[in-house]
Structure 1
Amino acid sequence: MWGSGKLNKRTILPSETATLTPSSAPSPGPAPDGLPALIAARTADVGRNREKQRRRRLRAMAWLLGVPAAFLWFRLAVGDPFNVFSFPDFDPLVVMPLLFFALLAVVLLAGTVGAGRSPHVMYRPEQIKTRLDDVIGIDPVKEDVVRSLNLFLAHKQFADEMGGTPRRGLLFEGAPGTGKTHLAKAMAAEAGVPFLFVSATSFQSMYYGATARKIRSYFKKLRKVARQEGGAIGFIEEIDAIAMARGGLSATVAPDSVSAVAHGCGSLHALPTSFALSHTAGATVINQNITSEGVGGVVNELLVQMQSFDEPTGTQKIQTWVIDKVNLVLADDRQLPRPIPPRTNILLIAATNRADNLDPALLRPGRFDRRLTFELPAKVGRRQLIDHFLKTKAHSPELDDDVMRDQVASATSGYTPVMIEHLFDEALVNAVRRGQREMSMGDVERARMVEEVGLGQPVAYTDHERKLISTHEAGHAVAA
């Protein structure tokens, strides 16, 4: 695509993906803050697919209610009305045993069926208050996310007209508190599609095989919602809990002493295999003999589900079964075509603090197409965060001074966005202790000292210790 030869399709530059729009809608210009503009969800492919599915459901409902209504009106027209509220008489001696065994079956099967249910929580766009304007201090990541959202919203145009493959997966990695979950919620709210949130630890189960069943149920629900709503965004928090590298324990570093022994002995046959292969100090050692079949199966299931987003629906499976039976008696030139699985518009986002420990097969294109690193905000980003947080937190007029805010930004080097917000919350606590309703610069500074140093501990000195300290300090004074 990027070569110098002739191309069948127009080459798409990365900067152009921000302006993907439906052919009937004008291309948006750049956003006021310099970031790419986001496509309107209602006029994009996602909105059109949602409207198409809504009309399809209305037609199905009309048929479902129209046929019984037509039957009742027909009976009424011929003078033989039908009483829909008349129920046949049942013998209680027959009904009670049937109800008992039905309830017993439900109780026995509830644990098995419930163990494989998806543990996700689904949020509608109107339930999420976070927007992209609330994501401050990570402009490079935010810019790439907007481009990915535009590809998600205009997936049909990008695939059908331009021949591209939309991104299916984004991996957010970074230190805790850098805004990974915050940004994922903003993406779902801006895209106008359901947001299926799940923690990776909630997939885990004490029953063998139940974890893989939960993963299958989650992706099945994700596909179903995406077909109904025109698209869906799934978010897996702390994916490293279920997607660690297969083939053994995490990699460790061989100590220098082991390497020295390996080189100093006359033969390496008596050493463990992993240590014998470490020819230099600090080499990586992986014990391949310790492998968990359960962990390997979970990772395999996750890999399969991420690769198989487009699967036939339940109706298509029935149609395929019927067509296969009919094709058995038809000639080769009269074979009926099978239904083609619909393209499911899914964007899967995963967050982790330990991306290096993930299985390498997860990180290839087609599963996680983009790996975004959330760095600690620089001074400019911290200043933006300070301005954002102080808009809603009560503070004295001195904190409105740009010099004061620059001082806070300089003093909070190494802080994450969550830590900066927590700093102001602790400053408000200090203001309450003073009997005030707004924080001052002194409150912020005291909160920062407590966060970095800790609470001050009172020290009690005896008279003898005080005499020694005073004598020592007096010596300093004389020498000066």
Structure 2
Amino acid sequence: MVKHLFFGFIPALLIFLGSSGYNISPLLFLFLIVAIGTILFSDKKGSIPGLFRDGKNRTHAVVKTNIKFEDIGGQERAKNELKEALDFLIYHDKIEKYGIRPLKGILLFGPPGTGKTLMAKAAADYTDSVFVAASGSEFVEMYVGVGAQRIRDLFAEAKELAKRNNKNSAIIFIDEIDVIGAKRDGNHLREYDQTLNQLLTEMDGIKEDDRPKILVIAATNRKDLLDSALLRPGRFDRHITVDLPDKHARKKILEIHTKSKPLANDVDLNQLSIETYGFSGAQLESVANEAAIYALRENEPMITAKHFANAIDKVLMGEQTDRKATKEEKRRVAIHELGHAIVAEKVKPGSVSQVALKPRGQALGYVRHNPSDDHYLYTRESIEKQIMIALGGAVAEEIFYGERSTGSKNDFDQVLNLIQHMIEAGLTSLGIVNTNYVSKDKIVEETNEILDLLLTKTKELLQEHKTVIEEALDFLEKEEVLSGEEFRQMIAKISKNK
């Protein structure tokens, strides 16, 4: 603060005195001496003189990260692949016998929250390296050349820090590398190109006999955006996918994040791993944390299954809101959600985890589904079942009210996206086609045919189970939450009495 005042106020004062006719030469000489001394003193306090020339040391440099691969749940394939690459850094004498060129860069790519940064930190611990981290956005400024200078300073800092701490290697981690490493198509700002060019130059300058050794690890959610010069061998030699965890990995992640938490006997981590299908590692950590917060709010000594259910809902849809629907709106929402739930139970038995009539985020109600297994391939039949589940809410409204409401908009968006996916995958009567070479009229006609067929099937199914909606409606309006097990018992009881 004092420094900013000094460099702002003194020049203004000198200009004022000079314009008033005073001889400011002695004062100007004194100011220059003080300014030079201040800059030199500031440089000595930083890790490297001149690092990030705006005076802000934006990198995060640590000598020991204290994060091990064992601390990261799941991702066994990615961890093993990364360890193999890191062994080249550790056993450099051994690999020289085989004439293997050491790796210069490793690219970690995958969805957000899957643990790419954690894996980079664990890599530093595994190789006993200095860890220097920066984000791609930190290299972007309006002034040309600043980003390139920061890249040079980043590599200089890593080398200096490793030497100072007697380390044989340093890992430079660049998160969000797509910010500075995007494809050069002539439309980018010159500053972006200069920064990328400097990064390529620094990586080319990494030699086999360098001491300390430098390894660059970068992370991105969008590998497809990166420039081919970055991705070629000799720059980022290894590309490692860090994907969303499967059921087994989700259980391991939950075990890590609940290890220090008091869990009640009704908490089943295996069941939670099923209910959290599609969750990233970061979301699973949030589920464990939010469940503990719910238990704290209620002054409960243990975290129960109910707390975890609320936590999953919160992570998926947001916190409960204070919006109060009218009695008629609440009834319509209940019918809508029960429509989804009945279709889901009929086409995928056991898939409903909970039907809720509590506003969360933008939704007035919701059905939480409970997939039995992780799926990576889908047939036409399985996609049609998803479409029927999405249509169930609107069809239930039509059966009871004779018309739909705007509450079905998101459902219809999902339906149209699924049909589009079917067409692009060659799962419709159009066959294997490129949608760019098919007329819009044909696509619209095919979409309408699929919709009409599935709307009819959904309507027949719900008409057959109309009494289930009527039976569950009063219970749901009163209790606001209907568990999957209670719902299935209700369906079985009504079907038995028919």
Change (3 A) 1:426 1:104: closer
Change (3 A) 1:423 1:209: same
Q: Which has the higher helix share?
A: 2
Q: Does 1:240 align with 2:186?
A: no
How far apart are 1:223 and its partner, in Å? 3.2
Q: How far apart, in 1, do the equivalents of 2:301 and 2:329 lie?
A: 45
Q: Does 1:411 align with 2:271?
A: no
Output aligned runs, 1:296-335, within 5 Å.
296-310=193-207
Change (3 A) 1:436 1:212: same
Q: 2:150 aligns with which of 214, 220, 223?
A: 214
Output aligned runs, 1:64-75, within 5 Å.
none
Q: 1:224 aligns with which of 160, 165, 169?
A: 160
Change (3 A) 1:445 1:209: same
Q: How far apart, in 2, do the equivalents of 1:300 and 1:197 lie?
A: 19
Q: Does 1:369 align with 2:307?
A: no
Q: How far apart, in 1, do the equivalents of 2:307 and 2:215 lie?
A: 43
Match of 1:164 in 2: 100
Change (3 A) 1:459 1:370: same
Deviations along 1:126-180, one digit per CA (max 9) or x if unpaired, are xx22111101110000101111221111113312x22111112110111111000
Q: Does 1:350 align with 2:218?
A: yes
Change (3 A) 1:97 1:140: same
Asked if 1 retains the 8 angstrom alpha-carbon contact of 2:105 and 2:237, the reply is yes
Q: How far apart, in 2, do the equivalents of 1:424 and 1:303 lie?
A: 41
Asked if 1 retains the 8 angstrom alpha-carbon contact of 2:128 and 2:167, the reply is no
Q: Does 1:139 align with 2:76?
A: yes
TM-score (norm 1): 0.57
Output aligned runs, 1:146-225, within 5 Å.
146-159=83-96, 161-225=97-161
CA root-mean-square deviation: 3.5
- Whose RCO is larger (CA < 8 A, sep 6+)? 1
TM-score (norm 2): 0.55
Output aligned runs, 1:249-268, within 5 Å.
none
Asked if 2 retains the 8 angstrom alpha-carbon contact of 1:193 and 1:229, the reply is yes
Deviations along 1:18-48, one digit per CA (max 9) or x if unpaired, are xxxxxxxxxxxxxxxxxxxxxxxxxxxxxxx
Q: Which ranges of structure 2 fall in alignment gaps of 5 or more residues? A: 1-25, 44-48, 336-399, 402-465, 472-497
Asked if 2 retains the 8 angstrom alpha-carbon contact of 1:309 and 1:344, the reply is no
Change (3 A) 1:420 1:296: same
Q: Which ranges of structure 1 fall in alignment gaps of 5 or more residues? A: 1-94, 249-289, 312-340
How far apart are 1:98 and its partner, in Å? 7.0
State the structure with more CA Rg.
1
Match of 2:300 in 1: 436
How far apart are 1:104 and its partner, in Å? 3.4
Deviations along 1:212-253, one digit per CA (max 9) or x if unpaired, are 1111111122233445521111101111111111024xxxxx
Q: Does 1:104 align with 2:40?
A: no
Asked if 1 retains the 8 angstrom alpha-carbon contact of 2:61 and 2:133, the reply is yes
Asked if 1 retains the 8 angstrom alpha-carbon contact of 2:130 and 2:158, the reply is no
Give secondary structure in 2 for the equivalent of 1:365: coil
Asked if 2 retains the 8 angstrom alpha-carbon contact of 1:116 and 1:211, the reply is no
Asked if 2 retains the 8 angstrom alpha-carbon contact of 1:136 and 1:381, the reply is yes
Asked if 1 retains the 8 angstrom alpha-carbon contact of 2:107 and 2:219, the reply is yes
Change (3 A) 1:224 1:310: farther
Asked if 2 retains the 8 angstrom alpha-carbon contact of 1:170 and 1:371, the reply is yes
User: Identity over the aligned pairs, expressed in percent?
Assistant: 30
Q: 2:62 aligns with which of 117, 123, 128?
A: 123
Give secondary structure in 1 for the equivalent of 2:234: coil
Q: How far apart, in 1, do the equivalents of 2:119 and 2:89 lie?
A: 16
How far apart are 1:462 and its partner, in Å? 6.5
Q: How far apart, in 2, do the equivalents of 1:132 and 1:180 lie?
A: 12
